[in-house]
Every structure is written in C-alpha cells, then in structure tokens.
Structure 1
Amino acid sequence: MTVTPRISVVIPVYNEGEAIIRCMERILREVMLPSEILLVHDMPEDTTVPYARQIAESHPQVRPVLNTYGRGPANAIRFGIDAARAPVTVVTMADGCDDPRQIDDLARLVERGVVVAAASRYMPGGQQVGGPRLKRMMSRWAGRTLYAFTRVGTRDATNSFKAYDTGFVRAVGIESRTGFEIGLELTAKAGRLRLPVAEIPTIWLDRQLGESHFDLGRFLPSYLRWYRFAYGRRLTMEQIAKRRPAQPEPEAVSASSVPASLS
C-alpha cells in the first residue's frame, strides 16, 4: 500500500558521489513521519546518481530526480519543490551540516499553521560551529537585523534548512536563480505578506561530507536583494504574484491548487 507522504524532503546534490550514502543513512534513520526524499541533480552523469539509485532500490521513498530548470542549487530547489507530493516541503543539504533529527519538528510547525519554519543558528540554544568567519558574521548580522526591524519571525533568515507550506511556495513563486538565497527570499515574502514564520534552535556544523560549492562573492548580490526586499509595507498575494515570470518554464511539474488560507 502506498503511503501519502506528509513531508517532501528536497536535497539538491552536485557530484556528492559515495558521500550521499552517509547523508541518506542519517536522514532515513531520523525522519519518522511519512516522507518522500527527492535527490535533485542537474545532469544524468552526476556522480551522486548511481548511489542514489542504489539507495532507492531498498528505500522506495527515495526519488532521484533530474532538474530541468537549469543548473545550480536555486534551480534544483525550485524543481524539487514543484515535484513535491507532500503538503510540507523541507529543504536540507547533502553536506552533513544540518541535523536531520529536526526535520520532523520543522514539518510539524508548518502543519500547525506557519508557512515557514526555520532551523535557527542564532536564537537561544542555537549554534554555528565552523565555516568561513566573514560568512558567519554577515549571516548573523542579517538575521538579527531582520528579526529586530522587520519582525520576520526568525533570527536566521539566511539558513537554507527550512520547512515550507508547499502551497505557499507555489503561490508566491521562487524568483532566485543562482545560489542558496531561496530561504531568505521565501522568508522575506512571508514577512511582507504578514504570514506566520517560526523557528527552532539548531546546531549547524561546517560541512562534514565532500567539498563546499558556496561562493560568497557570486551569491552576495542576490542575498542583498532579498534582504532589502524584506523591508517594506505589507503586500497582498496578488501583488507578490505579479512579480513572477509571465511565462511558465519548460518541463515544469504541475503544481497542486493553492490552499484557501493563502488565496
């Protein structure tokens, strides 16, 4: 009997190779709610693919999926959310930085009514261990100023490890096309719409598996764009929707209807 997932876990991957096995072992062990796990890769020859298929043979909830929206983590996350079958989507990384034990807790917050649930490094009980110093300082400053001045609901708007109401994401759309700024974009949009955002403390560990593909210089302009966007008057869903591209992208996965509470 097929179990309808309560959570779609979206993991963008890029040449993770055998390291994906360790990552998946942790997630499969810690996620207790009915789930599907989407390993989103940009090209068939990605070194992650053979190992992902091997895992999927014994764990049917694991789905390797080929991203057709264009290369890069933002496009992979966009594609994964469009392909998700659950009402809650959790985005996490394949590098061992995030704590998979918190996936269920983040998802339950969304089920209780928030549209974004953030794993926060910067709230009491949270911690960031390792990582480039400049990146840490900028991320902490952005999170704390947004929390203080926009009342966005989390002190860690830039962290990618978040759970989302899938219908909310499909309603507001994702405009990011480059790096990992989607978490900030969706948090900023929720704030401008005055929709509820919540957070739980997390301990983030610098990448444990493989090599980092984060390029601060390349991604910084996109982060600044959404940081500035978070400041402003309240918007309606119609105003947010007008920002979306006029034409649908090729080979897009059809989205389910938007929940009435977000219309």
Structure 2
Amino acid sequence: MTPRVSVVIPVYNEGEGVVKHLERILREVLLPAEILVVHDMPEDTTVPYALEIARTDPRVRTVLNTYGRGPANAIRFGIDAARAPVAVVTMADGCDDPRQIDDLARLVDRGVVVAAASRYMPGGQQVGGPRFKGMASKWAGRTLHWFARVGTRDATNSFKAYDTDFVREVGIESNTGFEIGIELTAKATRSRRPVAEIPTIWLDRQLGESHFDVGRFLPSYLRWYFFAFGRTLSAEQLAARWAAHRPTVLSDISDISQNREETPA
C-alpha cells in the first residue's frame, strides 16, 4: 500500500523509551502511513527496539542517515526517504500528540505546504520544559505571526507536516539542530505559499534528557527568523540558495529505502 503520510522521527540513543512512543503513533495514525525511524549510526540504542516493533508492523522501518550527524541532517534525510506526498516530523521523546498527525497531513492534502501544530494559538498549550526556551519560542512565534504573516503562531515547533514536493523544490539548508521548522515556514512565507495551524498541547518529556542546546542553536533560529521578513522569492531563487548547501546524496535517491536495516525474519 502506498502511504499517504510519512512520519519522520529523528532519534539518538532513545533506547527502550522509543517503544511507548512508536506504539502510540501506530495506534493513533489511521491514514495509510510509514514510520521512518531515522538514526545517525548503526549502533544507536534505538534501533533494536524499533526493529522489534517492525517485526509485527511493517509500517515501521529504520533508516540510516548518511547526510551527516545531527537532527537537521536526520530530518532532511527522512523527508528525502519519504514515499508519501506528506511528511510529518515528530520527535521521539513523546512530547507531541500523535492523534494530530492525521489532521496535519489532511491540511497539506488540502493545499497548504506547511501545517503546524501550534502551542501558542487558542486551544494550544505548553506544559513543562525550560522556561527561557518557552518564552523565547512564544515571543518568536507571536512576532512572526503579527509582523511577517507567516500563517502560524508557532513557527519554531518541530511538529509540522510538509508537502514533500515543496520541500524538495526549495530545499533544506539547516544542518545543525531543530531549526528546520522555522526555515521551511520562512521559505513558505517568502514564496507566498499557504501555511496553516491547529492547536496542540505539548508535554515535556518524561524519560531521558533533551538534546536541545539553546546557546548552540539560537544563531540558526535567528537567521531564519529574520529571513521570514522580506520580498517575495520564487521557488527557483530559493532552490538556488539551497544548491550551495545541498548534502551529499546517494547515487539514486529513489533507492534510498535500501539504505536501512532489514527487519529480521
């Protein structure tokens, strides 16, 4: 069955903690889907647990990222590997609500290129998490919504759905952290493509530690924050920006699915 949505999950040594999250996604996503567990190294502790689930549910497959380490490379590799016309990026820590994956995917199916799960619109909420990070994210989201008209109050949230054709058209330049969400929102805004949002309740992770480093990633977020303001850019102009940052790809991107661990018999 050809999937209608590809769920991209970048992982880094989540271990057994990923099991509960994957089970919840498999239970809540009703659209035909593939679940891509994208990891940077074969020895990642997440892989054995994901493969165990894949034995009984073929929607799950582990994918080895060859674009370079880090969440940005894992996400763009996962989107390139996606077989569905819609890719939904969600984290492996259980903070995002998997019940909303179908709703986000349907918004893209209706014509938007970015559909955001928003913590800062009416009905949304953020529960827990670092206080400074939350305040900065809320300030960025609201000012981008008010002054840059980006179409969402939560441009920095990673939990978003994307039109995969749009992403492959304009490219992803980010190569460090989790700033892809704001990059693609900014590119959609500058190219005057539609962006939509639905409210979400984000819950701080209960297991493990966050790998988000505010000091390290802040310059990248600020770069894309200011990029959202400006004149209209065509898809060709955005693609030209991306060309210089394009990662090394496999010999045939259509065969990217071969670059994964095989589920044991």
What's the TM-score once normalised by structure 2's chain length? 0.94
Identity between Structure 1 and Structure 2 (%): 79
Could you tell me which residue of structure 2 aligns to residue 37 of structure 1?
35
Asked whether 1:177 is paired with 2:179, we answer no
Asked whether 1:238 is paired with 2:236, we answer yes
User: Secondary structure at the residue paired with 1:244?
Assistant: helix
1:139 aligns with one of 123, 137, 140: 137
Could you tell me which residue of structure 1 aligns to residue 147 of structure 2?
149
1:145-178 Cα deviation digits (max 9, x unpaired): 0000011100000000000000000000000000
- Structure 2: how far apart are the matches of 1:110 and 1:131? 29
Query: Alpha-carbon deviation of 1:211?
Result: 1.4
Could you tell me which residue of structure 2 aligns to residue 186 of structure 1?
184
**Aligned pairs (5 A) from 1:194-209:** 194-209=192-207
Query: Alpha-carbon deviation of 1:210?
Result: 1.9
2:13 aligns with one of 12, 15, 27: 15
Quick one: which amino acid aligns to residue 120 of structure 1?
Answer: S
User: Secondary structure at the residue paired with 1:243?
Assistant: helix
The count of corresponding residues between Structure 1 and Structure 2 is 254
User: Which stretch has the larger CA shift, 97-106 or 238-247?
Assistant: 238-247
User: Which stretch has the larger CA shift, 138-147 or 208-217?
Assistant: 208-217
Could you tell me which residue of structure 2 aligns to residue 127 of structure 1?
125
Quick one: which amino acid aligns to residue 96 of structure 1?
Answer: G
- Structure 2: how far apart are the matches of 1:32 and 1:129? 26
- Structure 2: how far apart are the matches of 1:179 and 1:145? 22
Query: Alpha-carbon deviation of 1:245?
Result: 2.7
1:9-60 Cα deviation digits (max 9, x unpaired): 0000000000111011100000000000000000000000111111111010
Q: Contact between 1:6 and 1:34, CA under 8 Å: does it hold in 2?
A: yes
1:117 aligns with one of 115, 118, 121: 115
- Structure 2: how far apart are the matches of 1:194 and 1:255? 29
Stretches of structure 2 that go unaligned for 5 or more consecutive residues are 256-265
Instruction: Report the RMSD for the aligned CA atoms in angstroms.
Output: 1.3
1:88-132 Cα deviation digits (max 9, x unpaired): 000000001000000000000000000000000000000000010
- Structure 2: how far apart are the matches of 1:242 and 1:164? 20
Note closer, same or farther for the CA distance 1:222–1:68 as it changes in structure 2 (3 Å cut). Answer: same
Quick one: which amino acid aligns to residue 49 of structure 1?
Answer: V
Query: Alpha-carbon deviation of 1:183?
Result: 0.3
User: Secondary structure at the residue paired with 1:80?
Assistant: helix
Note closer, same or farther for the CA distance 1:38–1:253 as it changes in structure 2 (3 Å cut). Answer: farther
Q: Contact between 1:83 and 1:253, CA under 8 Å: does it hold in 2?
A: no
**Aligned pairs (5 A) from 1:54-73:** 54-73=52-71
Q: Contact between 2:37 and 2:62, CA under 8 Å: does it hold in 1?
A: yes
Q: Contact between 2:67 and 2:247, CA under 8 Å: does it hold in 1?
A: no
Could you tell me which residue of structure 2 aligns to residue 261 of structure 1?
none
- Structure 1: how far apart are the matches of 2:159 and 2:66? 23
- Structure 2: how far apart are the matches of 1:152 and 1:45? 39
1:168 aligns with one of 166, 169, 175: 166
Note closer, same or farther for the CA distance 1:133–1:253 as it changes in structure 2 (3 Å cut). Answer: farther
Quick one: which amino acid aligns to residue 39 of structure 2?
Answer: H
Quick one: which amino acid aligns to residue 240 of structure 1?
Answer: L
Stretches of structure 1 that go unaligned for 5 or more consecutive residues are 257-263
Query: Alpha-carbon deviation of 1:249?
Result: 1.1
Asked whether 1:254 is paired with 2:253, we answer yes
Q: Contact between 1:39 and 1:64, CA under 8 Å: does it hold in 2?
A: yes
User: Secondary structure at the residue paired with 2:150?
Assistant: coil
What's the TM-score once normalised by structure 1's chain length? 0.94
Query: Alpha-carbon deviation of 1:208?
Result: 2.3
